[in-house]
Amino acid sequence: MELSAPIQVDELVERCRQGDRRSYGELYQKYSRAMYNTSLRIVNHTGDAEDVLQESFVDAFAAIDSFAYKSTFGAWLKRIVINKSINTLRKKKMDIIDIDKTSAVHIAEEDDYDEEGLKLKVEEIKKAVKELPNGYRTVLTLHLFEGYDQEEIAEILQISHATVRTQYMRAKQKLLFIIKQGGLS
């Protein structure tokens, strides 16, 4: 979305900096849906995701002078949204790293699910993501949907690369497991 018209977005950002209120609204229209879905996948709660959305836009608009075009505006905003979403999870004392030993051993032995044999559907994947525990869901969504690489995820979550890798592998296995079960039932 932001790739299609980066110049247009830059113009909007400039106009926001000059205090043009309509441009704030336009930026919100442009990004709110993507940012809301990003947050929703992490916090897994519509009310929380809406709070995150509100706080993120307010903070981003307040700090728009410090946005230095080092990334796209969308990437900058998304990072704010993700940080706030993770903080929301942490505030609720939800573990960011899942120590799910039984399933870990279990999955490790079973190795790969036959992804080829699974018929993947958008709605099923969305449903399965919601059923993942917080830590798995966060790591999985950051890579699978938001496209961050391992190093970036390690930095965002303040955990080691190795942990990111194993968490992601397990999360993916579990997701596929849930999809398969759902398909059977």
Residues at the contact surface with another protein, assessed by CB under 8 A: 19, 21, 24-25, 28, 32-34, 36-38, 40, 46, 49-50, 53-55, 57-63, 65-67, 76, 79-80, 83-84, 87-88, 91, 115-116, 118, 120, 122, 125-126, 144-145, 172, 175-176
- C-beta of 29: minimal distance to another protein in Å? 8
Q: Is the Cα dihedral 132, 133, 136, 138 positive or negative?
A: positive
Token representation of residue 167:
């968490």
Kindly tell me the number of DSSP H helices and DSSP E strands found in the chain. 9, 0
* 99 vs 134 by CB, closer to another protein: 134
* 65 vs 102 by CB, closer to another protein: 65
Angle between the N-to-C axes of helices 46-62 and 73-91, in degrees from 0 to 180, rounded to the nearest 10 = 130
- C-beta of 166: minimal distance to another protein in Å? 14
- C-beta of 136: minimal distance to another protein in Å? 14
- C-beta of 99: minimal distance to another protein in Å? 24
In Å, how far are 68, 132, 137, 178, 181 from 124, measured between CA atoms? 39, 13, 15, 9, 11
* 64 vs 99 by CB, closer to another protein: 64
- C-beta of 90: minimal distance to another protein in Å? 9
CB 78 within 8 A of CB 60: no
How many CA atoms lie less than 13 Å away from 168 in the CB half-sphere?
Answer: 22
